[in-house]
Amino acid sequence: MADEDGKVDVFTCVESLRKNRPHMVQTQDQYKFIYLVLLEALTFGDTSISLKDFGQCMRIMAEKDTYTLSNGFSKEYEGTSPLLTL
């Protein structure tokens, strides 16, 4: 439910969802989760992996960088650090 400027009004969106599903978003933690999901999507973009490519992605993520000695999992996890402090 983004407008033409690419903005999302979370409050209005939740109100609209509640019209069809009255008890949707019942707690403050659920409301905060909506913001965290939006932040993740805006920060990292589309991180989905097709089932067909998942095995190859796992192998690539597990490979160690010979310079930093870390793997793709470590690098990606470090990128999520700002989300963990919210």
List, for residues 2-46, the tens digit of each pLDDT value. Answer: 567 778 899 998 999 899 998 889 999 999 999 988 888 888 888
Q: pTM of the entire structure?
A: 0.60
Domain that residue 37 falls in = 10-73
Is residue 83 a part of any domain in this protein? no
Residue 18 and residue 24 in contact, taking contact as beta carbons nearer than 8 Å: yes
Residue 13 and residue 21 in contact, taking contact as beta carbons nearer than 8 Å: no
Is residue 5 a part of any domain in this protein? no
Contacts of 86 (CB under 8 A, 6+ apart): 32, 36, 39
Q: Is the pLDDT of residue 60 over 90?
A: yes
Q: pLDDT band at residue 83, thresholds of 50, 70 and 90?
A: low
**pLDDT at res. 30:** 93
Is residue 3 a part of any domain in this protein? no
